[in-house]
Structure 1
Amino acid sequence: MKILFVHPHGSNWMGEGTDITSLFNLMPPLGILSIAAYLEARGMEAEIVDCYGTALRGEALVAEIVRRRPDAVAFSCTTSSFLEGYALAEALRERLPEAAIVFGGPHACSVGVSLLDRFPAIDYLVIGEGEQTLYELAAAGFRNGGAIPGVGYRKEGVGTLSAPRELIPDLDSLPFPAYRRLPDFPRRYTLPLFSYPTAPNTSIISSRGCPYQCSYCDRSVFSRGFRFNSPEYIVEHLKMLHRDFGIRHAFFYDDLFTTDRSRVARFCELKERERLPVGYNCIARLEHVDDELLRLLKRSGCWQVNFGIESGDPEVIRKHRKYYGLDEVQEKLALVRRAGMRVKGLFMIGLPGESEASIRRTIDYALSLPLDEINVTKFTPFPGAPIYRDIREQGEFDESWPLMNCMNFVFVPKGMTREQLEGLYNEFIRRFYRRTRIHWGYTQMLWKSPDSILRFLRHLPEILRFEMRQKW
C-alpha cells in the first residue's frame, strides 16, 4: 500500500507578486512527516510532495503524482491552501480513478464533514490527529470508513462523521517524523531570517493541544488538552537531527513549550549533560517564565524566546485572551534580555473591537518594549476558532479561503476600513524596524548569524521589489 502525501502551496501570501516568505522561512510539514513515519513503521510505503519545496506546479505537478502511481493521495491543507489542493484532487480523480483521495489538516478538521457535500472529488476526511486514523483507513483498503473513528465519509450521499477519534495519550509512542522523505531537507528548509545563529536548522514540535481559550485560535486538530513528549524523547529527537542531517539549531514550534516546568527543567539538564551541539528557540507564555527558568534555558543553548503579546490595548486583550498586565510584560521581557537571549514579540492587528486609536496604542507599546524583532499578523477568523461563530456581527468579513493566511485583512472591524488597516500595519513595521537600536541589532548579525546575512544578500533583489510594492 503506497500513500502519497501532498502539502499544497496555497495562494500567494499577499495575493500578488512573488511569495518571498518561503525564501526566508520554510518549515517542514511536520504533521505529514509524523503520519508518514507512523505508516512506514507499520509496513506501508509513504511518499511526500511538499509544494513549498518544489518548483512543480499545475500539470507538471499532476503528472509527477500520476507517475508515482499511489494507492491513495492524502492532502494536508490549511484554509488558504484547500482550494488549490482540491483542484489537484479533481485532476487526479480523472487521471488516477482507482486511487483514494483523502483530505486532512486544519481546514478539514475545522469545517468538518460538510466539505464532502460540496467537494465530490474527496473520498474521505481525516478529522483530528491523523496517525492512527489514516493507518486504519489504509489497512482497510480505504473501504468501510464509517467503522473507523475519526473518518468523515458519505452515508447515503451525505457527509457524516464515523465517531470521534480519541487523542493519542503517549506522544513518545510515535516515531520521529520522516524528514528523509523531503528531498531537499534540510537545505531547502530554514528558520526565519536573523532568528538563528547557525545553519542548517529546522523546526520541531514536542507537544500537542492547548488548554487556553483565546478567541482567535483554532484547536480543531489537537483539541484543548495538553500532551507532550518527555525530555528524554526530545533530546533523542535533537540527537537524531544532528546525527542524520547535521542540524545545529532548532525552533520548538510548540505554543506552550514552557508550560510544564518540570519537563523543561529536565530537558535543559539532559541537554546540558549530553553537550548536544544544537541550539534552539522556543515560544513561551509570560506567566511561565522567571529568572530561574530563563537561566536554565540559556545554559542549555536557548538563543531566542518568542512571546505572544498580541496587543498593547488592555481592553482588546481582555476581550480575546487571558489578560496579562502590560507593565509585567515589560518586566518579563527585560529578564529574558538580561539572561542573554534575544526576544521576539508576536502581535496581531485587526481584531474585533479594535479601532485606529487602539492599534496606535499597540504600536507605541511595542516600540517601548525591549524587543529585538516582531512578527505582526493580520487577524484572520478561521472556521474552528471560537470567534468565528459571530464574526459577521462584529465587522465586514470576506470569507475568501485562499486569502485566509494571516497576511491579508479579510476581516475589517466595525468603524474601520481595509485601507486604514493596511496603512497602520505598514506604519507598525516601518516604525519598529527603522530605528537605530534595531539597525544596530541587525548589524551584529554579521557575526551572530552570518548565514542570515548571506541569505539576505542572495535574495536582495526580491526584497527590494517587495519594498517598492509596499511603498513604505
Structure 2
Amino acid sequence: MAERKHILLAAINAKYIHSNLAVYSLKAYAKKYQDRIGLAEYTINQNLDDILKGIYRDHPEVLCISCYIWNISYVKNLIREVHKVLPDTAIWLGGPEVSYDARKVLEEHPEVTGVMKGEGEVTFLELAGFYLEGISELAKIDGITYRDGDQIQENPWRGITDLSTIPFVYKDLKKFENRIIYYESSRGCPFSCSYCLSSIDKKLRFRDLELVKEELQFFLDHNVPQVKFVDRTFNCKHDHAMAIWKYLIAHDNGITNFHFEVAADLLNEEEIALIRTMRPGMIQLEIGVQSTNPDTIREIHRKMDFAQVSEVVTRVQEGHNVHQHLDLIAGLPYEDYTSFAKSFCDVYRLRPQQLQLGFLKMLKGSFMYQAAPEYGCVCQSREPYEVLYTKWLPYEDVLRLKLVEEMVEVYYNSNQFGKTLLAIEKLFDNPFALYEALGVFYDKKGYMNISHTRIRRYEILQEFLQEYVEEEQMEYYRQLMIYDLYARENMKTRPAWAKDLKAYKREIRQFYLKEEETHAYLPEYAGYDEKQLARMTHLERMDYDPDTGAREACWILFDYRSRDVLTYDAKTVKLPVVDIM
C-alpha cells in the first residue's frame, strides 16, 4: 500500500482544461504542513471508479473536497463509496454548494464529518492543525459545521481573509500545462445582484498591488497563453484596475492574453483611452448585461445603465483590439419571452465577439433563492438548478429560448459565418427572429443534439434559406458561405456546392505569376514563387460584392499570414476582375 497521506485536497472540475484555484490556495496558505497535504484534480467526465481508486491509493486520513454546482451530485456519489473503502477517513466538504445549508448536508450524508463554510484558507489551516498536530479542538474553529457524536454543531462563520496573506500558487507551472490559469486580485463585489452569491458578503478587498505586479510578471516571463482574473468586478476600483492595465501594457510579452470581468458602465474616459492603446488581443472583457428591461434590472438590485454600456462597448469595439463577451440571463423577474427578445436584440446590435445566452441558476444562499416563491420561479432539483419556468416565462418559452441559445452558439459565437449572417439577418424583422426561426427549423428536422461538421452546418443553413428565398437568389448566399469558409481556412477540398474554379485556372495562374514579380498585394511573401503563393493564399471568384450584395464580378484574395486578431479570419482584399487579367 502506498505511503499514507494525512490530508488530501480533491477538486473535481467540469473540464480537464479547468483548474481549481481554491484547493491550491488552501494548500498554499497551510504552508507549514505542505509535506503532509496532498492535492488531486479530477473531472466529472472521469469514471467514478477511477477517482475512487486514486483516493483509496492515497489513503488520506482526511479528505477535503470542494463543491460547486457542476460537481455536487458527483461528489455526493463519490463520498458514499469513499466511506465504504476508507471508513476511518474524515470527509470534509467546502465551497458554495455546501456552505449555505451545511446542517442539511450533514443530516443527509452521515459519511461526512464536517463542512467548511465561506472562505476557507484560515479555517483549513486550523483544521489541518487539529488533525495533524492535535492543536485546539473543533469547537474552537470558526467557519465549520461538524458532527460531534450524534449531534451536529454549528460554529460561527469566520470573518474575511486578508487577500495579500495568501501565497502565490503558481510557482510550478508544469501542473497547469494545457489548463486555464485563474488569478485573483480582489474578493467581494460592490453590487448586490440578487441572483449572485457575491451579493451576500459585500466586503470588498484587494491584493497588494506590488504583489500583483510581481505575480503577473511571472506569467509574462513564462509566456502563459491566458490568465483569467476571477475578480467579480475587476474595474470597481479605478486606481487598482489602471495600475494593473498600465503594468501589463508596459511589460507586454506579445503572447499572454488576460481576461477580465468588468462593469462596462463603470469604465471611465481614462480607462477607455488606455484600453484602446493595448496590443490587439492582449485583453478580453466579459460584460454581464443580463437584461435591458428596466423593471428587471431594478428588481434584481442591479445597477446598470444600458445606454452607457452601449456607448462604452461601441467605443471599445471601434479600437478593434479587444475581444468583448456580453452575457444575458433568461428567467429573471419581469422578463417574459417578448422582453427577453428585446434584450437580445439590444445586445446583439452591439456586435460583441461572443453573446452568451444563459439561464437563471438558483444558487443556494442568494436573495433570488429566497424570493423564488414570490416570482413563481421553479428550477431543476439537481445542479445546475436551472430555471424551468417563472410566472412571466412558461416552460414552453424556456424551451424556445434553448433553441435560440444553441443557434447563437453554433452560428454567431463560432465566428465562422460572418458575411453570411449579415446577409441573412436582412430577411428577418430582427436578429432574434432569425435565431428563433433557425432553432425551430433545426428542431423540426431533428438536427439538434447531433455533432455536425462545419460543412454540414453550411448545408443546413442552405436548407433553411430555401424557405425564405427563391432558387435564383441562393447562389448569392452560397458564395457568401464560400467566403466565410475560406476566411477561416485554406480548404484543400471544396464543397460540392462551390463554384468550379477550373474555368478560371489561367487567370488565377496569371495573377500569381504577376505577384511573384511585383508582390503588389502580398508584400510579405517576397521570395516565394507563384506555386508557393497559390498554396499559401487563396483566390476566389465571386459574382457578388460580399460587402454590399450588388451583382458585381470580383475576386477575393485571402491572406492567411495576416489574420484578424479578434475573429481569426484571414485578411481579404477585393480585386476587380480587370486586375486578374
Q: TM-score range by the shorter chain?
A: 0.7 to 0.9
Matches within 5 A, 1:156-175: 157-169=150-162, 171-175=163-167
SS of the counterpart of 1:317?
helix
Q: 1:211: which partner in 2?
A: 190
CA 1:274 to 1:410, structure 2 compared with 1: closer, same or farther past 3 Å?
A: closer
Distance between the aligned counterparts of 1:51 and 1:283, measured in 2?
26
In the alignment, which of 229, 232, 254 is matched to residue 207 of structure 2?
229
Q: 1:464: which partner in 2?
A: 452
Matches within 5 A, 1:95-106: 95-106=85-96
State the shift of 1:463 in Å: 4.8
Per-residue deviation, residues 288-311 of structure 1 (Å, max 9, x unmatched): 202321233454554321111001
In the alignment, which of 23, 26, 39 is matched to residue 32 of structure 1?
23
Is 1:411 aligned to residue 401 of structure 2? Answer: no
Distance between the aligned counterparts of 1:465 and 1:165, measured in 2?
52
Distance between the aligned counterparts of 1:215 and 1:62, measured in 2?
37
State the shift of 1:351 in Å: 1.5
Which letter does structure 1 place at the counterpart of 2:18? M
Matches within 5 A, 1:193-272: 202-219=181-198, 223-243=201-221, 246-272=223-249
CA 1:421 to 1:231, structure 2 compared with 1: closer, same or farther past 3 Å?
A: same
Q: Is the Cα contact below 8 Å between 1:282 and 1:304 reproduced in 2?
A: yes
CA 1:305 to 1:436, structure 2 compared with 1: closer, same or farther past 3 Å?
A: closer
Distance between the aligned counterparts of 2:166 and 2:86, measured in 1?
31
Distance between the aligned counterparts of 2:415 and 2:170, measured in 1?
38
Deviates more, 1:295-304 or 1:263-272: 295-304
Q: Is the Cα contact below 8 Å between 1:235 and 1:270 reproduced in 2?
A: yes
Distance between the aligned counterparts of 1:413 and 1:71, measured in 2?
46
Q: 1:121: which partner in 2?
A: 111
Q: 1:199: which partner in 2?
A: none
Q: 1:334: which partner in 2?
A: 314
Per-residue deviation, residues 5-64 of structure 1 (Å, max 9, x unmatched): 222357xxxxxxxxxxx47xx431111111122223544433333222x86422221111
Is 1:4 aligned to residue 16 of structure 2? Answer: no
Distance between the aligned counterparts of 2:413 and 2:389, measured in 1?
33
Q: Is the Cα contact below 8 Å between 2:8 and 2:63 reproduced in 1?
A: yes
Per-residue deviation, residues 94-115 of structure 1 (Å, max 9, x unmatched): 2122221100011111223332
CA 1:431 to 1:151, structure 2 compared with 1: closer, same or farther past 3 Å?
A: closer
> Can you give the 5+ residue segments of structure 1 that lack an aligned partner in the other structure?
11-21, 191-201, 444-460
CA 1:162 to 1:431, structure 2 compared with 1: closer, same or farther past 3 Å?
A: closer
Per-residue deviation, residues 245-300 of structure 1 (Å, max 9, x unmatched): x4133221211111111112222333334445533121111232023212334545
State the shift of 1:2 in Å: 3.1
In the alignment, which of 413, 416, 421 is matched to residue 398 of structure 2?
421
Distance between the aligned counterparts of 1:92 and 1:247, measured in 2?
36
State the shift of 1:352 in Å: 2.8
Distance between the aligned counterparts of 1:436 and 1:113, measured in 2?
42
Q: 1:372: which partner in 2?
A: 353
Q: Is the Cα contact below 8 Å between 2:192 and 2:198 reproduced in 1?
A: no
Distance between the aligned counterparts of 1:47 and 1:351, measured in 2?
42
Distance between the aligned counterparts of 1:367 and 1:152, measured in 2?
46
State the shift of 1:330 in Å: 1.2
Q: Is the Cα contact below 8 Å between 1:352 and 1:395 reproduced in 2?
A: no
Which letter does structure 1 place at the counterpart of 2:24? L
Distance between the aligned counterparts of 1:182 and 1:40, measured in 2?
20
In the alignment, which of 34, 40, 47 is matched to residue 49 of structure 1?
40
SS of the counterpart of 2:63?
strand
Q: Is the Cα contact below 8 Å between 1:400 and 1:410 reproduced in 2?
A: no
In the alignment, which of 159, 176, 181 is matched to residue 168 of structure 2?
176
Distance between the aligned counterparts of 1:236 and 1:150, measured in 2?
31
Q: Is the Cα contact below 8 Å between 2:354 and 2:413 reproduced in 1?
A: no
Distance between the aligned counterparts of 2:407 and 2:45, measured in 1?
32
Deviates more, 1:321-330 or 1:311-320: 321-330
Is 1:344 aligned to residue 305 of structure 2? Answer: no
Q: 1:446: which partner in 2?
A: none
Distance between the aligned counterparts of 2:27 and 2:46, measured in 1?
21
> Can you give the 5+ residue segments of structure 2 that lack an aligned partner in the other structure?
421-448, 462-581
Q: Is the Cα contact below 8 Å between 2:334 and 2:392 reproduced in 1?
A: no
Q: 2:372: which partner in 1?
A: 391
Q: 1:362: which partner in 2?
A: 343
CA 1:82 to 1:436, structure 2 compared with 1: closer, same or farther past 3 Å?
A: closer
Distance between the aligned counterparts of 1:66 and 1:28, measured in 2?
22
Distance between the aligned counterparts of 1:112 and 1:155, measured in 2?
14
Distance between the aligned counterparts of 1:9 and 1:280, measured in 2?
21
Distance between the aligned counterparts of 2:174 and 2:145, measured in 1?
28
Is 1:81 aligned to residue 71 of structure 2? Answer: yes
CA 1:241 to 1:321, structure 2 compared with 1: closer, same or farther past 3 Å?
A: same
Distance between the aligned counterparts of 1:437 and 1:161, measured in 2?
48
Deviates more, 1:250-259 or 1:233-242: 233-242
Number of residue pairs matched by the alignment: 419
CA RMSD of superposed structures (Å): 3.2
Distance between the aligned counterparts of 1:139 and 1:299, measured in 2?
50
Larger RCO (CA under 8 A, 6+ residues apart): 1
Distance between the aligned counterparts of 1:93 and 1:311, measured in 2?
45
Deviates more, 1:148-157 or 1:209-218: 148-157
Distance between the aligned counterparts of 1:316 and 1:182, measured in 2?
45
Q: 1:458: which partner in 2?
A: none
Which letter does structure 1 place at the counterpart of 2:347? A
Q: 1:456: which partner in 2?
A: none
State the shift of 1:133 in Å: 0.6
